[in-house]
Structure 1
Amino acid sequence: MDLTREQIRVMIYYDYKKQLSQEECLESLHKTFGDSCVSRATVYNWFAEFSRGRDHFEDEPRAGRPRTAVAPENIEAVRELVNIDPHITCQQIEDTLQIGSALTEIILHDYLGLKKVTCRWVPHSLSEAQKQDRVDYCLQMLEEFDGGKSKRVYDIITGDESWFYYYDPKTKRQSQVWVASNDPHPTKVRRQRSVGKHMFAIFFMKSSFNTIIRLENGKTVTAKWYANECLTQVLKQVEKHRCLNGLLIHHDNAPAHRVALTMEYLDTQHVKLMGHPAYSPDLTPCDSWLFPKIK
């Protein structure tokens, strides 16, 4: 369901009365409704309006031509620009057609019924059996750890490796496209990046950060490196704070994570390996939370 401007203003007013800051209000709205629901400028503007004593949420009466007077040629021109480039920004539309920001917003939202959404990354097309494995795994984890309330969650250490590029031109905001309100979200498979990059393995627990290990240039992630160098450093860091008995390690199904050498090393250290369903990066904290924030 798309929120109206008045509904968004009511929620901004609620946060204003709770004495939250503008940034806290913006973060809360984006976390709940997505980055495209409201802009930073809108939140700051309405905080200022409320501080001046404004007590209603409707637009003030405006002089000039009414909405019904929006020129049909402008509507068609905006429609054509969006069809040519779904990633086009409001500023680019305004500059191209030499129209104001308010008129651009009215045409996009009220006349064309468009909204800006972010492409959803689809890593792999899952079979029905793989989808069921994901469901079963999640239900098992919820039961085993009491929905996250069990103290055993503090025994879990999780980690993964990833390339970190010197420069990534395709940000989340840049990948947003205009779609009609009843259209499905578009997807994307990969992003173009610069040539310069480094591979890092990052591990952490619920209670604290563990370690970052950099893979030397020119080398690849192998079972020997993962078991003898990476995991060795990780477990040594854990032992500074607790014993290894009862420790649970969680990582995805990358080849180096599942070969005999890695499994044997974990057995010798009395560390239990947690399961993980195939092709499920959204169920690993690194892929679904940490890496996107860092990158």
Structure 2
Amino acid sequence: MDKKGFRVLIKYCFLNGNNTVEAKPWLEAEFPDTAPGKSTIKDWYAKFKRGEMSTEDGERSGLPKVVVTDENIKKIHKMILNDRKLKLNEITDILKISTKRVDRIVHEYLGMRKLYAKKKQ
């Protein structure tokens, strides 16, 4: 069962007047391998007690996770080809993408192990 389905079942337990201690074993009996944890059940009960009865995920702040696009991959590749001494931090500052995402694009999508290797003297 997916997360939304479990949220609906947790809401059902809440509306029936069950507490979290009663809800946990009931969910584990019905879904032994995939039942949500005790803290998840408590969090949703707290939300329902505050009057928030929606079982949907709330809006989250921040940039979307979908920054690994063909356009960004091409931009990064072009930047690296133009200046092999370019650092990850410089790319992140220019494109306003997290260092983690730039690192992933460089290593996984472009197949580069290092951006710049110093010459031995």
TM-score (norm 1): 0.23
The residue type paired with residue 15 of structure 1 is: C
Task: Map 1:8-87 onto structure 2 (within 5 A).
Answer: 8-69=6-67, 71=101, 73=104
Return closer, same or farther for 1:33/1:63 CA change in 2, 3 Å cut-off.
same
Unaligned runs of 5+ in 1: 74-295
Distance (whole Å) between structure 2 residues aligned to residue 59 and residue 32 of structure 1:
23
Which string of whole-angstrom CA distances, capped at 9 and with x for unpartnered residues, describes residues 218-277 of structure 1? xxxxxxxxxxxxxxxxxxxxxxxxxxxxxxxxxxxxxxxxxxxxxxxxxxxxxxxxxxxx
Compared CA separation, residues 48 and 5, structure 1 to 2 (3 A): same
How is 1:48-197 mapped onto 2 (pairs within 5 angstroms)? 48-69=46-67, 71=101, 73=104
Map of 1:6 onto structure 2: 4
Q: Considering fraction of residues, name the structure with more strand.
A: 1
Larger relative contact order, structure 1 or 2 (CA cutoff 8 Å, min sep 6): 2
Q: CA deviation at 1:35?
A: 4.5
Tell me which residue corresponds to 2:111.
none
* Helix, strand or coil at the partner of 2:52: coil
TM-score between the two structures when normalised by the length of structure 2: 0.53
Tell me, in whole angstroms, the C-alpha distance in 2 between the residues paired with 1:37 and 1:69.
Answer: 32
What SS class does the counterpart of residue 59 from structure 1 fall into?
coil
Query: 1 CA distance for matches of 2:42 and 2:17?
Result: 13
Query: 1:68, CA displacement in angstroms?
Result: 2.6
1:68 and 1:34 map into 2 onto residues whose CA distance is 34
Q: Deviations over 1:70-111 (max 9, x none)?
A: 8484xxxxxxxxxxxxxxxxxxxxxxxxxxxxxxxxxxxxxx
- 1:66 CA drift (Å): 1.9
Q: Partners of 2:49 and 2:43 in 1: how far apart?
A: 10
Mapped to 2, the partners of 1:57 and 1:67 lie a distance apart of: 22
Shift in Å, 1:36: 3.5
- Alignment size in residue pairs: 71
- CA radius of gyration, larger in: 1
Deviation at 1:69, TM superposition (A): 4.2
